[in-house]
Structure formats: C-alpha cells, structure tokens
Structure 1
Amino acid sequence: MYKLLFCLLTVSTIGFTQSEDIKKEPQKAFVGINSRLSYLMLDPNQNLRKELILLEERQAHPSKDKMLTIGTSILAIGDYQKSNVNSKFGYLMRHPTTSNQIGYEVSEAVLHSWHFSVMGQLNSWITTCVELLYNPEQSFGSGTITSIERNQIQLRKGFVLLGDLNKSPFYFSLGKMDGPFGQMGTVSPFTNSTTWHAFATLGYGAQLGFKTKNFNAAIMAVQGGSQFRALNSSVAGTNVPSRINNGIADVNYSFNFNDNNKLKIGGSYVLGCAYCHSFPVEHFGDCADSNPAYSVYGQYFIKDRLRIQGSYTKTVNVWPGTHNPIPPLDVFAAAKVSAMDLGAKYDFKLDKTEDIVYSISGEFSNFLAGDAGSDWEFQNQYILGFAGLVNESSRIFVEFFRTEGFVPLNFVSGGNMGPGETISDRSAKSHGIVIGAMVTF
C-alpha cells in the first residue's frame, strides 16, 4: 500500500508526458501551498469526511494537472484541570493514564500535535493524500508524554482517490483513511466529542461513493482484526488484521428549504465496532464475535452562521466485557454501548472587512457503557468554546470543559485489580480550561 502511495506521489512530482518522441521537454510539475485547503484536510475535529473535501475542492476550483500541494499544521495548547478524585480525569483529549495525570490537579503547556500533508493531483480524476501525525498527548504508547514510545511520527492517513464530480457522481478511495461512519465532527474548536472517542473509525480499506449536490452514499470494505480505531472485527477468533471482513455503509441527504436554511440527515452502519471484548477487557485484544453498531445524525444550518447538530450511536449487541462475573460486581449485567452529542455553533464578524471569523459554541456529549448503577455506566462531557478563524486557515481558541464519570476502555469493569474493584468511577468529576492555537500553512 505505501509503495503505491509513494509511486503516485513520485509520478505527480516528476510529471513526464508520455510520448514516442523521447526528445520532447518533460511536462512541468507544480508545487504549491494552499493554506485554506490544508486547514480543511488537517483539521482533526470539525469535518472528518476528507475524501469529500478533496472532491468538492476539485469540483469548485479545477486546478492544473500534476500539482503537488504541501501543508503543515501545529496545534499548541495550555490547559488546567482539576478532579475531585485522585488521578482520575475524564477529559479525553489527554490519554487518561495515571502516568500522565497525577493527583487532583494537572496543568501543562505543550505541543499537542503536529500534522504534515502532501496532496498530489495527477490529473482531473486521480488524487493522492498522505498525512503524517505527531501526537504524544493522545498516543497509545507507554510512559509519560516525554517517553520515546509516545513521541513517534506516524502515517495517520494515506489514500488514493479516484473521481471527478464534474464528470461523474461516483468516486473511489483506497488506503488508510477515516471510515464514513456517523457524524464524528464537532462544533467545538478543539475538543472532540465523546461520540468521536467512542465510535470514530480509521482503518485500511476501499471506499466506493456516490455524490450529488444534496445526496451522498458510501460503502467501505475494511480489513478486519484489531484496527487502528473502532473497527475491530473477529478474524477466526483472533485480532490479526488478515482479512477484509468488516464494512461500513452511510447515506445522507440535504434539504435546501431556501437560501438561508438547510437540513442534512443521515444514517450509518458498521459490521464491527470496538465493543466486542469479553471480560476482562483489554483494548485492541481479540474478540470471539464482532459487534455491529448504527448511527443516526443531523445538521441544521441557518444563513451559514448558525449550525445545530446532533447524533445518536449505539451497538447492536451488548459488550460482553461490561459484565464482571466476580462478586460483588456480578450484579451488573452486560450492556449495549451508546453515545450521543448535541451542539450548536454561531459564526460572526466584528467588522465586515476584517479577515477573522469569530465563533461561539457549546456541546454536550456522553458515553454509556454499563448497566444502571455501575461505576462504568456513563461518562459525560460539556464544552463551551470561543474561537477566531484567521485567513480561513488558522484558529485561536479558548474552551471551558466539565466531565462527569471516569470510564477508560481498558479493564472498564475490572479484572486488573482486586475482587469488587474497578478503575472506573461514576463519582469522578473534573473541570478545566484550554487555550491554544492551530496554525496551518
């Protein structure tokens, strides 16, 4: 797969014209920077349908063939948060491990993440995209945020996209990409919704889509096993990703009532999500059976200024590992997993001539993982944000947050502690503030 990506990028960079006359001058290639497009592609939480961003960009702004667009984005933050329970912070924008969160208070000033992208346009219907990511704050590596295991640069996404909406409504993408499951984008300037943390998908696969002005449908065949994010499916009872045995389907439609009001509704289904492990739960471990999930979502736009959105996502079957068979926790039955979010965002300018668009946003999202009354029953998140978007490519923001409940996926119902004990804690509450900037070129 990676050889294919690099070959396509090399072709788009060199760009020789095929001809029987080898003495002809090679066709020139173009290398450039498009900060607005790079911002849309590298933004980690607002609009995650990156294939559609590329397709719509080419449709609205047809560019020269053999074009290489390079972009980079740095996200730096300073934050303070406080919990009522020692070392149990429910805020998921920091990986919730005791090695990174000690005591009742945490404060830091860090480089949260760095992105680098290369987008190659071979012609009007062949595009490639590669994204590199450095994110010690949310890495699943061991140790603290200064440990080598957490300070790695990874190829976060890499895919080939075939399609030209000016000529055909069909498109096809192949590689490592976000799956078209649910509405995982948020209205908040920095914090991903709890729905994203619970169900957002990323994996190796092939996606086929059909898009018109108001309608979009997509299906994606996914390589199974224990995937990068939320696409676990059993491969002969193991977590070895050796078969294409998982899949996603999504469909959505937009109703344009007039020039000022638009409603989009949609639904998705995935054959295997993250919640299939038996007790004790070890994340990314093997599953005996896959657990499907579905999602319904909607967005309402008013005058391109106000956006109201919400979604509800739930597993089809119970998560076996949410039942602890050891007394006294055995009284809690296994439960289905669900997540929901509801948010609104209002954009405005203080001066029509300035290049800054301000926004105020608020969002509630939650994660329900356990039987009523269990310590792993819920985790709620409230976000209030204020941001300024400069030149359509850089965002400066401040957020206030509150969480209720502490439900890490690893050993969610116990199994790594004594009988009757679990790391989850329904009484845990935390609150804090985040200031930061995402600067993109």
Structure 2
Amino acid sequence: MFNKTLHLQSVSAPIHTFLSLLINTIKLMLKKLLFVLLFGNLAYSQQDIIAIKSIDFNSEVTAKMLDQNQDLRKINILLNERKNNAITNNSLTIGTSIISLLDYQHSNTDSKFGYLMRHPTANNQIGKDVSEAVIHSFQLSLTATVNHWLTSYVEILYNPQQAFGSGTITALERNQLQLRKGIVVIGDLNRFPLYGAIGKMDAPFGQMGSVNPFTNSTSWHAFAGLSYGAQLGFKKGGFHAKVMTAQGGAQFRAMHTPVGDNTKTPSKLNNYVADINYTFALIEKVKLLIGGSYLRGSAYCQEFPVTHFSPCKDNNPAYTFYGNLNIDNRLTVQGGFAKTTKVWEGTHNPTPPLDIYEAAKVSTLDIGAKYTINPENKVTYTVSGEFSNLKCGPDGAPWERQNQMVIGLSGLINNSSKLFFEMFRTEGYVPLNFISGSNDFEPFPPGTTHSDRNANSLGFVLGAQLTF
C-alpha cells in the first residue's frame, strides 16, 4: 500500500499559495454546506470546522472506491474506512485509476457480440472478429472530510468504450468526462449506527459486484441502478438495513419510473430501493452473508418497440435474494437471483411471425467463486470463475436469454493495482434497444428482430488497472 501525507509546509511557495487558496475555498463551501444541513439547530465544537490539514494519497482505499466491478456498495466502504481511521478528519484524499486493455473476441454471427463490457453497437463491431488495444476507462476521486461525521466523495469518469453517446469510440460525444458519483455522507459508525447520504450514488439493490478481476456480471448490466437520491442506513453488528429514495424517469441507469407528461427527465423522488442483509459466523474463519432487496421501478417497463431511455406508462418492480460465503479471507463463493414482478410489455412483438412469443418477466442469475492463492504476499494471485445470465423471453424466443461465463486470473500489487487475464464466452445476443423488433422498416422490418439466441462469442481480455 502506498499511503503518504503531503503536508502543506513541505510544498514550494507557489504551490503552497495555490493549495492554500484552494483549501480556503473548499473550507468556505463546506462550512456553508454544514450550516445549511444543520439549520443552526445542532451545536458543534470549534475543532469540528478547522481547515483541511493534509492532502492524502491512499492507494489501498482508492482501489476499493474505484474498483468498477467488485464490492460496489461504495458508501459502506467509505464509512468503514472512516471507522478504521484509514481516512482521517480534516483531510482531502486524492485518487486515480486507469484501466488499459488488449482484447480479442470472435462471434459465430456477423456483427453480433454479446460481451457487454464493450459497447455492443454495429458502429464499433463489424464482422465476426474484433481486436483492440484501448484505454477502457480513467477515474479521478476526491474524498474530503470536515469532521468525524461529515464526508464528501466525488468520482469523475472517462469511459468511451461503454459510453452511450452516438458514433464510434473516436466520436466526441463518447469521449466526455462525467460526474459518475457525487455524495455527501453523514454519519460516524464508531459513535452511532445510523447514517445518511445525499447525491448521485449506486442503488443498494442486490449483490451486483462480481468475483471477476474486470468483467461485470450480466446481473449488474440488468439491475445495477445509479441515480440521484437520498439514502438512510442502519448498521449494527452483522445487521445492515438501508432504504434509498431516488429520482424517477428514464435517464438514470436501471431506475425507471414514470414522472408524468410523457417525459423521460428525472424530476420527482418517486422511486425507492429497500435492502436488508445479515452477516454471521458459521464457524471460526467462516462467514456467511444473506440478504434481499426490493426496487419499486426497474428498467423493464417500456411498451413495444423498446428504445433506450424512453418514458414508461407504469413502473415494473423487481426483487432479489443474494448470499456470500467467505472462508478465511481466501475463498469467496457468492450468488444472487433477481426478477421483475410484472412482465416487460415491450418483449411482445405484435407482428407475425414473432407474435407467438408472449411478453415475459425479466430475471438474472449469477454464481461465482474466487480463491486467493497467497494472501500474505506483496503480490497476491487470485483465480476466479463466474456464470451469469439475463432471461427476458419465453423458451425459443430470439430474445429468450443471454449467458456469460468468465474465467479469470489476477495479480494484486500492494493491495491496489492489478494485472489480469480473462477468458469469456457468451451465448445469445440480446441488446435491449429494439429487443423484440420494430414496428417500422427502420431499423428493422416489421416481424423481424436483431436478437439471436443462437449467436455466441468467445474471447479474452488482458489488462491492467493501476491505482494511485
């Protein structure tokens, strides 16, 4: 782990002046935020509102916060690291992470690649073979602490490979910086089990993290929500419960609810997620976590024909059950199942011959395991395997299902940076946009669909995630 504090006194005069100005500005903003949050009704000591005293670089904490597919409940990590004093009071912690990849994949069907870690569009994937050497993503994080109970976290993301902008990966619209997450967290688990958060954050729905070193599970792509909202949690011992109220609409990831006037713009706090889980020891060095979640509005509510980010007339709730078994911090076995409570109306195409397939509920299943070979070494090696799937059509439908299998090997350096290799196979090609076809000749003639249950692809990913 690289953990170093850069004190302002050690910086040269010009940089010292700049940092002093920056810190004074941050101080003023945080003081105003503190006053607004408390409305002047809570007393606090003078020591609680002193200036930021240090700028920290903690690569181990940064690796946990910026990992894009493992342990995705980032508010939990933030609170636990504060509880363990890995993030100190009155500090600004800066972190960065970059993922670079060399990958190849082959499909048995022209221009139909089911691997979801690469944006599946015909603009970027032509023919039956694709290979590339790319920057998958770059992240920048800033964690600021005012006192023992008030923390802010901001994450900036650059990810042209998975951006939903138009054009190819060289198009300007897909090469933008975005505020991926931005939250203010209120709470101190050392003093009180209740905490809260306001901002743009991951929805606490299910266990969306993966055992893979790089690839997200199919469950994540189907149900992992991200939106503006407010979260309230209670954590005591092995018991953890939380509820999040979120802004509805169709433009946030996997958090669709109608907001009126046929608009897709999130403008009401009319969606929510509730989650509860419990961790207990089975025997010495063996822990089991079990949990369940409920989501008022999932992504699967549009009528035919389905298009991304279009508004819904009604919401489609979803539920999930999940578990995680950890043995001696070396072997992890986890799994989960999620399903909507209603059918997805858009999965029925009314035009023959596809009209024989009735609308179906959407479900996902994932199960995986990873084993760390040498947990005490500076470079730790982990092997992993995972199966996950998406099912959104009846048996035999072209959009019936998409399966994903991944085998991975990774080396973690100083608990922060990793090198990894994965082999993957997908079965089925089920893009959610126009999943069951179109009612016009563009982009597909009536009675046809680009979904294909017989398409499959095979490939590998060789990459590095370097975190500082």
Q: TM-score range by the shorter chain?
A: over 0.9
Equivalent position of 1:405 in the other structure = 428
**What is the CA deviation profile of residues 363-401 of structure 1, one whole-angstrom value per residue up to 9, with x for unaligned ones?**
000000112111000000000000011000001000000
CA shift for structure 1 position 30: 1.0
1:348 Cα deviation (Å)?
Answer: 1.7
Q: Which residue of 1 aligns with 2:291?
A: 266
TM-score of the superposed pair, with normalisation by structure 1: 0.94
Residues 154-189 of structure 1, C-alpha deviations (whole Å, 9 max, x = no match): 000001000100000001000000010010000000
Which runs of at least 4 in structure 1 moved beyond 3 Å after TM superposition?
6-9, 12-16
Q: Which residue of 2 aligns with 1:47?
A: 71
Of the structure 1 ranges 268-277 and 56-65, higher mean CA displacement relative to structure 2 is found in 56-65
Describe how 1:123-142 pairs up with structure 2 within 5 A: 123-142=147-166
> What is the rounded CA distance, in whole Å, between the counterparts of 1:176 and 1:302 in structure 2?
34
Task: Find the counterpart in structure 2 of residue 321 from structure 1.
Answer: 346
| Aligned residue number for residue 234 of structure 2 | 210
Residue 89 of structure 2, aligned match among 51, 65, 68? 65
1:14 is displaced (CA, Å) by 8.8
Q: Partners in 2 of 1:283 and 1:274 — Cα distance? A: 9
2:144 matched residue in structure 1: 120
Q: Which residue matches 1:348?
A: 373
* 1:417 aligned partner, one-letter code: F
Deviation at 1:230, TM superposition (A): 0.1
Query: Cα distance 1:59–1:217, how it changes in 2: closer, same or farther (>3 A)?
Result: same
Deviation at 1:259, TM superposition (A): 2.8
- Could you say which residue in structure 1 is the equivalent of 2:409? 386
* Partner Cα distance (1:312, 1:227) in 2: 25
Which of 258, 263, 267 is matched with 1:234 structurally?
A: 258
1:31-74, Cα deviation, whole Å (9 max, x unpaired)? 11010000000000001100000110111126542100000000
* Residue identity in the other structure for 2:400: E
| Alignment partners' CA distance in 2, 1:239 and 1:58 | 37
- Partner of residue 445, structure 2: 418
Q: Partners in 1 of 2:324 and 2:52 — Cα distance? A: 43
Residue identity over aligned pairs, in percent, reads: 55
TM-score (norm 2): 0.88
Q: What do the CA deviations read for 1:310-359 (whole angstroms, capped 9, x no partner)?
A: 00000000000000001111110000000010000000218x5x301110
Amino acid at match of 1:360: V
Give the corresponding residue for 1:3: none
Task: Please give the per-residue CA displacement for 1:129-171, whole angstroms capped at 9, x wherever unaligned.
Answer: 0000000000001111111011001000001000100000001
Does the 8 A contact of 1:83 with 1:431 survive in 2?
Answer: yes
Cα distance change of structure 1 residues 202 and 327 upon mapping to structure 2, 3 Å threshold: same
Does the aligned pair in 2 maintain the 1:13–1:30 contact within 8 Å?
no
Q: List alignment gaps of at least 5 residues for structure 2.
A: 1-21, 36-49
- The answer as to whether partners of 1:13 and 1:29 remain within 8 angstroms in 2 is no
Give the direction of change, closer, same or farther, for the CA distance of 1:130–1:243 in structure 2 (3 Å limit): same
**Conservation of the 8 A alpha-carbon contact between 2:405 and 2:425:** yes
In the other structure, the counterpart of 2:464 is 437
Matched residue pairs, number?
A: 427
* Structure-2 residue corresponding to 1:22: none
Is contact 1:113-1:137 (8 Å) kept?
yes
Separation (CA, whole Å) in 1 of partners of 2:292 and 2:25: 34
What is residue 27 of structure 2 aligned with on the other side? Answer: 11
Q: Residues 413 and 391 of structure 1: is their aligned pair in 2 closer, same or farther, counting only changes over 3 Å?
A: same
- Residue 382 of structure 2 corresponds to residue 366 of structure 1: no
| Runs of at least 5 residues in structure 1 that lack an aligned partner in the other structure | 1-5, 19-25
1:14–1:177: structure 2 CA closer, same or farther, 3 Å change rule? closer
2:104·2:130 contact (CA, 8 Å) conserved in 1? yes
1:422 to 1:95, Cα distance in 2 relative to 1, 3 A? same
Q: Output the amino acid matched with 1:39.
A: A
Give the whole-Å Cα distance in 2 for the aligned partners of 1:359 and 1:231: 33
Whether contact under 8 Å (1:134, 1:151) holds in the other structure is yes
After superposition, the C-alpha distances for 1:241-266 in whole angstroms (9 at most, x for unaligned) are: 11110000000001112331110000
Does structure 1 conserve the Cα–Cα contact (< 8 Å) formed by 2:293 and 2:319? yes
Q: Is the 8 A contact 1:314 1:338 kept in 2?
A: yes
Alpha carbons 1:12, 1:66 under 8 Å: kept:
no
Contact 1:216 1:252 in 2 (8 A): yes
In the alignment, is the contact (CA less than 8 A) between 1:9 and 1:128 conserved in 2?
no
| Matched letter for residue 401 of structure 2 | F
Shift of 1:13: 9.1
Alignment check: 8 A CA contact 1:76 1:438 kept: yes
Query: Greater CA deviation, 332-341 or 225-234?
Result: 225-234
The reply to whether residue 311 of structure 1 matches residue 327 of structure 2 is: no
Structure 2 CA distance for aligned equivalents of residues 48 and 8 of structure 1: 32
Secondary structure at the counterpart of residue 198 of structure 2: strand
Among residues 335, 360, 377, which one is paired with 1:335 in the alignment?
Answer: 360
- Which residue does 2:125 correspond to in 1? 101
| Counterpart Cα distance in 2 of 1:112 and 1:184 | 20
Asked if residue 165 in structure 1 is aligned to residue 192 in structure 2, the reply is no
Alignment RMSD: 2.0
Tell me if 1:35 matches 2:30: no
Structure-2 separation of matches of 1:8 and 1:220: 33
Per-residue CA deviations over 1:77-101 (Å, capped at 9, x if unaligned) read: 0000000000000000001000010
CA distance in 1, matches of 2:266, 2:220: 22
* Counterpart amino acid of residue 293 in structure 1: A
3-state DSSP class of the match of 1:304? coil
